[in-house]
Chain A
Amino acid sequence: MGIQIANVSKTYHMGTIEVAALRDVSLEIKDGELVAIMGPSGSGKSTLMNVLGCLDVPSTGSYRLDGEEIGRLKDDQLAVVRSRKIGFVFQQFNLLARTPAVEQVELPMVYAGTRDRRARALAALDAVGLSDRANHRPTELSGGQQQRVAIARALVNEPSIILADEPTGALDTSTSAEIMAIFQRLNRDRGLTVIFVTHEPEIAYHTRRIIALRDGLITTDEAVSDADFHQADARQPVAL
């Protein structure tokens, strides 16, 4: 099923000025793909991520996620789609202050009304190698550990896609490698669709497909050859 975007435009009104953040973009991403969306700031990649993540709706055009039309949904309906189908990982981790890791991971399940929250949260923490940090608060965790909690939170509701917005932007190179390795493993072993939004080519070459944006248009959309693909090694720093 995956993602089908057809002729999507997004226009923002800033006072009297109209800003076209996306211009007639069409795109298809299949289940299980590992994709990077690249582009300089102002290219529209953040807007595309917001639309893909159901945080925002296109001004015109169609967005179908797993066959369901998203483009015309209301706020609360979008919240339900996010809850069931999308997991976010952010550059700044975006964990709740003063909240133990296991409760961070339980949060999406609270809003989705899932049962057995504690057990599933612990399993998700185990999947990112943090089962021994379940009761630690963000201030007691390193940056890499915090980002792993965020990944556990993103995957706990078994979403269709994980959207990662500069997920290594606040991390050092060796920690970045660990994080990329986790994403690649989740993609390979669980068949999760993972979409990175980044401006770093080195991160992009850890994916199988690079979509480049400029001025709200897709300029290139090509597969990464096996020769260029970097298999992240948790023991090796990601070269930047």
Chain B
Amino acid sequence: MSSVRVALRALGANKLRTTLTMLGIIIGVSAVIALMSIGRGAQAQVTSQIQSLGTNLLFIRPGATKDQGVRSGAGQAATLTLEDSDAIATLPNVVATAPELGTGAQMLANGQNYQSRVTGVTEEYAAVRNTTLAEGDWITKAQVDGHSNVVVLGDTVAKQLFAEMDPVGQMVRMSVGGRTGANLRVIGVIESKGASGLGNQDDQVYVPITTVMARLFAQRTARGAPNVNTVNVQVISETVMDDTVTAIGDLLRARHKVAQDDFTIQSQQDFLNTFNQIAGTFTLLLGAIAGISLVVGGIGIMNIMLVSVTERTREIGIRKAVGARRRDILTQFLVEAVVVSILGGAIGIALGTGLAGLISTFQIPGQNGAAASNLQTQVGLDSVMLAFFVSAAVGLFFGIYPATRASRLNPIEALRYE
């Protein structure tokens, strides 16, 4: 403990120099803390959004196909049908299924021309995907069965086409790929879900899937049945996810009469895992960039410590004359370097936390008219601990050389040093 006191006295003797030395570490640590908080914040935000969609969802997409040696990517093949969706719905543990068929579409209304995405859905989609209406009604079973010309708008689309007007009851002309298309009546508007790492979920419209197939565009499977892009499956609980995945796989293989899967089944957890992996790498990258400044700070410590050793040659001589061994001198200068870096680290942690708080007040403008949101930041205990121990290690590492030089000074020459 007394060596820390000796170190503090030596550091206090030249406050300006100590502060400048610490500045390198302060900047390094606060940069690590602030940048990692952005990475962590984005991770937390997207994770909570994915979880808000429900963790008991499975997504079935057509798989990669191999046609005469030509492979196409996952989701490109036309292998899933409405009948597949209905068959999955009869499996145990499956609460409901919601097939989707989506594509880009041109929309004309109120003198506005807007390019967005149209998703063909059934009446069950709203419940399965946790979609709530801001006004009007959702698509009914009768409208699906009757190929009705109705549409439910996403918040962004409603604003783009109708601005302040009430869209419910208005007509929208929609066409896909330059075909004639259809006139659809707006029956509802979806409540905004906000922009997120998953893209703007408000920038799309919903039409009965039968209407999409009959009037907008259609794909057919190899056996001639109408194709769907995705089947959303709501499972009764998270605990039976794995069993349900197996059951759906067996069912689809039997129905498609294939040995090799022509579909993929993904869960929310899969998305979450993938995203967390990406976000973790991103956070690490930010941390590593900031870490470079920590190394620069460490070199600053070494620089100042070398000057300090030269300046205090006589002091080292006195200490040796009264009985200090090499390791006593070594310890003294190492403690000094570590005290500087830990003090700098502590100040850096406080500053970095403050910076993270400041960053979280910045507004990010929403994409395509979505509401602006704040940039989320999160200062984790792990990044604080990391920054603290790394700064201590930096001090130790860069203190070793100057301290070793100090400990090896010859006492006679050191005492004679002016």
Pairwise interchain contact B322-A88, C-beta atoms closer than 8 A: yes
CB neighbours (8 Å) of A83 from chain B are 322-323
Stretch with Cβ within 8 A of B (4 or more), from A61-69, A104-112, A173-181, A186-194: A104-112
Alpha-carbon distance A76/B322, docked complex (angstroms): 12
Pairwise interchain contact A55-B321, C-beta atoms closer than 8 A: yes
B328 within 8 A of A: yes
Sort chain A's interface into a size bin: 20 to 34
Alpha-carbon distance A108/B318, docked complex (angstroms): 10
B322 to chain A, nearest CB (A): 4
Alpha-carbon distance A97/B9, docked complex (angstroms): 10
Alpha-carbon distance A99/B2, docked complex (angstroms): 13
B390 within 8 A of A: no
Of the residues A56, A75, A107, contact of B319 by C-beta under 8 Å: A107
B415 within 8 A of A: yes
B326 within 8 A of A: yes
Of the residues A56, A82, A98, contact of B322 by C-beta under 8 Å: A82
Contacts A50-B412, A55-B412, A56-B412 known; A94 to B321 CB distance under 8 Å?
Answer: yes
A124 to chain B, nearest CB (A): 13
Count chain B residues whose beta carbon lies closer than 8 angstroms to a beta carbon of A: 20
Pairwise interchain contact B323-A97, C-beta atoms closer than 8 A: no
Pairwise interchain contact B323-A82, C-beta atoms closer than 8 A: yes
A153 within 8 A of B: yes
What 7 A-B pairs come out closest when comparing CB atoms?
Answer: A83-B323, A111-B323, A108-B322, A79-B325, A76-B325, A94-B318, A111-B324
Contacts A50-B412, A55-B411 known; A96 to B318 CB distance under 8 Å?
Answer: yes
Chain B residues packing against A (C-beta within 8 Å) = 2, 9, 13, 314-315, 317-328, 411-412, 415
CB neighbours (8 Å) of B315 from chain A are 96-97
Pairwise interchain contact B411-A110, C-beta atoms closer than 8 A: no
Alpha-carbon distance A160/B411, docked complex (angstroms): 20
A80 within 8 A of B: yes
Pairwise interchain contact B318-A79, C-beta atoms closer than 8 A: no
Pairwise interchain contact A80-B325, C-beta atoms closer than 8 A: yes
Pairwise interchain contact A79-B9, C-beta atoms closer than 8 A: no
A81 to chain B, nearest CB (A): 9
Per-position 1/0 for A84-96, Cβ under 8 A of B: 1000101000111
Contacts A94-B318, A96-B318 known; A111 to B325 CB distance under 8 Å?
Answer: yes
Alpha-carbon distance A83/B13, docked complex (angstroms): 27
